[in-house]
Structure 1
């Protein structure tokens, strides 16, 4: 299982802004992070799955 930090998450999401990522977290468009001490980490395959699910929803609307 691979964990990614905030900067890696940002890069994976096309350098999305910090505030936009927090909005995505609040609306459930991204999985919530795991806190380890003061840092937050995301499970990479969960992020990838969320991205695929969102892309699938876009494909359905085409």
Structure 2
């Protein structure tokens, strides 16, 4: 399983800002991060599913 850092996630989402990403998490559009030590990571598969759900809901 691959994990994304905040920087990786921002890039994957087209350069979204940190605050926009956290708003998306709060609204349930993105999955919660996983904390390893002092850093946060997102499971790439979970992010991909969230993106697909958003795209399908937009059609």
Same fold judged by TM-score > 0.5? yes
Q: CA RMSD in A?
A: 0.5
Q: Runs of 5+ in structure 1 lacking a partner?
A: none
Q: Runs of 5+ in structure 2 lacking a partner?
A: none
Partner Cα separation in structure 2 for residue 28 and residue 58 of structure 1: 15
Could you tell me the TM-score, scaled by structure 1's length? 0.92
Could you tell me the TM-score, scaled by structure 2's length? 0.97
Per-residue deviation at 1:8?
Answer: 0.3
Higher CA-based Rg: 1
Partner Cα separation in structure 1 for residue 43 and residue 55 of structure 2: 19
Q: How many residues of Structure 1 are paired with residues of Structure 2 in the alignment?
A: 59
Helix, strand or coil for the counterpart of 2:32?
A: coil
Helix, strand or coil for the counterpart of 2:35?
A: strand
For residues 23-42 of structure 1, give each alpha carbon's deviation from its aligned partner in whole angstroms, at most 9, with x where no partner exists.
Answer: 00111100000000110000
Q: Deviating runs (4+, > 3 A) in structure 1? A: none
Report the counterpart of residue 24 of structure 2 in structure 1.
Answer: 24
